Amino acid sequence: MRRLLLAVLCVGAPRVGLAQERGDAPLTIVAPAAPGGGWDQLARAMQHTLETEGIARPVLVENIPGAAGTIGLARFVSGRAGDPRSLLVTGLVMVGGIAQNATPVRLEAATPVARLVGEYEAIAVAAASPLKSLGDLLQLLERDVGAVSWGGGSAGGTDQMLVDLVAQARGLDARRTSYVAFAGGGEARGALLGGQVTAGVSGVGELAELAARGLVRILAVSAPARLPGIDAPTLRESGVDVVLVNWRGVMAPPGLRAADRRRLEEEILRMTRTPTWQDELRRRGWQDMTMGADAFGRYLVAEVNRVDRLAQARRGEGAGASRSLPRLPLVLAAVLVVALIAGRRQAPGRISTPQWRPVALIIGAMLVNLLLSERAGFVVGATVLFAATAFAFGERRVSRLLPIAGVFALATFLLFRGALGVALPIGSWWTGVAG
């Protein structure tokens, strides 16, 4: 029996490995939410399409609900590292949950595969509301930002993100907005229709249904252009330069081989081109927002930075990374300037004078840092500033000065972005997006 079992294992093991190489092994899609929600619906639609079109079979769906998807993310990252046949459904809500709760496991720990679908947001008021346009709502908001109550989904989610972005775009303090979070869509609809909130924020599909029945009036949508079938302007048309989409996509585990990542990406992109998938999009009212792994990775950088800035502003930690990122080197530079002015040269019989040339050099480097940081990234901008500071203090060996400044800037970047969660930007020159 032992020999027979050994023979079976020896014959079976290569076949298992070959199945995984061919992509014929079962594919597990983790939906980090309870059955019935948006992430679960996406996982089930993918399961149906992949199996129907013969792209992957069998496809299993596993639900891990809790904490805006962050519990599922943590289990996925820790329990499925290196697994070439696992995917995690993610989206903007998860990015918001991570930023809102400052969770230790961030989305960057997983591997981008593809963005798939999305839905734009809408701002609406009850049909009986005296507010006839977004301009009316904005006037009320600007007179007293706290007087306007907004009803929407969970705290830190897409609905509250839109409220924060609208307030910031009008130069208002997002912390003073009156946002009422509801556990479910039914409660939020009831509050809007009952006049318990000034305005409601939700996905376009949900509010469009109420608008078609004459129960609400949609004031604006968060799309870059007007949406077919929706009689409402965009936020940009109304003077608010904001675009926001509640996107959803899939991630692979960390530690994946490049070939395995490409195989997963190819399978998912093949899925999006099938008639079955297009039928799913039409039936569910989803916008097709397919984006491959590399582009999705760059998009994630921008989204994570934007949401981190919103969460930081909501907590009163600054107006965002693009404006708060220079604070560390600026504070350091200010200290160095004071030290230079205080450390004056002493000449016999003469009054000491400040060393203005080094001071001017550091001030110039501060300005260069401000110009470089957003486009070239924190590391490049801080390297210039740190190198100029060392030069001002007398270090003239450029071959030594620049590498040390670069290492110090990189270490600072890793500490603040990785360990402390401060959204210091990588730079649009490298990522293709701002932030």
Are 79 and 31 part of one and the same domain? Answer: yes
**The last residue of a domain, from among 213, 245, 277:** 245
- Mean pLDDT (the chain) is 81
pLDDT of residue 284: 84
| Residue of higher predicted confidence among 172 and 324 | 172
pLDDT of residue 360: 75
First-to-final CA distance of the chain: 63
- The type of residue at 414 is L
Tell me the residue range of the domain where 419 lies: 321-431
pLDDT of residue 213: 93
DSSP state for residue 67 in the 8-state scheme: G
Whether 330 has a pLDDT exceeding 60, the answer reads no
pLDDT of residue 178: 92
Whether 340 has a pLDDT exceeding 90, the answer reads no
Residue 62 — very low, low, confident or very high, per pLDDT cuts 50/70/90? very high
pLDDT of residue 277: 97
Residue 164 — very low, low, confident or very high, per pLDDT cuts 50/70/90? very high
Domain count, the chain: 3
- Residue 145 sits in a domain whose CATH number is 3.40.190.10
Are 221 and 256 part of one and the same domain? Answer: no
- Helices of type H across 315-350: 321-324, 327-342
Q: Summarize the confidence of residues 118-142 as an average pLDDT.
A: 95
**Share of residues in the chain with pLDDT > 70 (%):** 77
Residue 337 — very low, low, confident or very high, per pLDDT cuts 50/70/90? low
**The last residue of a domain, from among 210, 245, 280:** 245
Whether 69 has a pLDDT exceeding 70, the answer reads yes
Q: CA 314 → CA 7, 307, 317, distances in Å? A: 63, 10, 8
Q: Which two tokens stand for residue 280?
A: 């799913």
Are 309 and 294 part of one and the same domain? Answer: yes
pLDDT of residue 285: 80
Q: Summarize the confidence of residues 331-352 as an average pLDDT.
A: 50
pLDDT of residue 8: 37
Are 41 and 80 part of one and the same domain? Answer: yes
**Share of residues in the chain with pLDDT > 90 (%):** 47
Residue 102 — very low, low, confident or very high, per pLDDT cuts 50/70/90? confident
Whether 328 has a pLDDT exceeding 60, the answer reads no
Q: Indicate the SS3 state at residue 330.
A: helix
pLDDT tens digits for range 344-388: 444 444 444 456 677 777 777 777 776 766 567 778 877 888 777
pTM over 0.95: no
**Going along 233-286, which residue ranges are E strands?**
245-252
Are 384 and 338 part of one and the same domain? Answer: yes
The region of weakest confidence among 111-120, 321-330, 382-391 is 321-330
Are 86 and 134 part of one and the same domain? Answer: no
Are 184 and 206 part of one and the same domain? Answer: yes
Are 337 and 274 part of one and the same domain? Answer: no
pLDDT tens digits for range 275-307: 999 999 998 888 999 999 999 999 999 999 988
pLDDT of residue 13: 40
Are 370 and 264 part of one and the same domain? Answer: no
pLDDT of residue 251: 96
pLDDT of residue 64: 92
pLDDT of residue 408: 78
pLDDT of residue 345: 47
Are 218 and 228 part of one and the same domain? Answer: yes
- Residue 258 sits in a domain whose CATH number is 3.40.190.150
**The last residue of a domain, from among 245, 269, 295:** 245
Residue 4 — very low, low, confident or very high, per pLDDT cuts 50/70/90? very low
Q: CA 428 → CA 114, 245, 298, 374, distances in Å? A: 21, 21, 9, 7
Are 264 and 176 part of one and the same domain? Answer: no
- The type of residue at 195 is G
CB 50 within 8 A of CB 56: yes
Are 152 and 239 part of one and the same domain? Answer: yes
